[in-house]
Structure 1
């Protein structure tokens, strides 16, 4: 009968450890997704700035090519 209590206690501890690890994974995934979102916003801003600055150069290059 003692073994039944021991195994039940060990099973409970194992499930508790898995629960704690699942919570830690969830928090890390949230932090990673926030970091990816910030990086995505930064890349989008850089792409818009690049497009804004490259457009006059493309127009000038087109004028040179027509000559």
Structure 2
């Protein structure tokens, strides 16, 4: 169960990180107040996913296959 949480959150955080970087590089000067709220929401979601990765990584790397 922890492996699935780890890999799903890793995949989603990579996609989300790509979208955040794309917004910062391409659309930063065109953002409105709503756009900054959208960007802030994505950053908060990325931090939550990184926290899930941090707490589930111990079970992934400590098990021997």
TM-score bracket for the superposition, by shorter chain length: 0.3 to 0.5
Q: Taking structure 1 as the reference length, what is the TM-score of the superposition?
A: 0.44
Between Structure 1 and Structure 2, the one with more helix by share is 1
Bigger Rg over Cα: 1
**TM-score (ref. length: structure 2):** 0.45
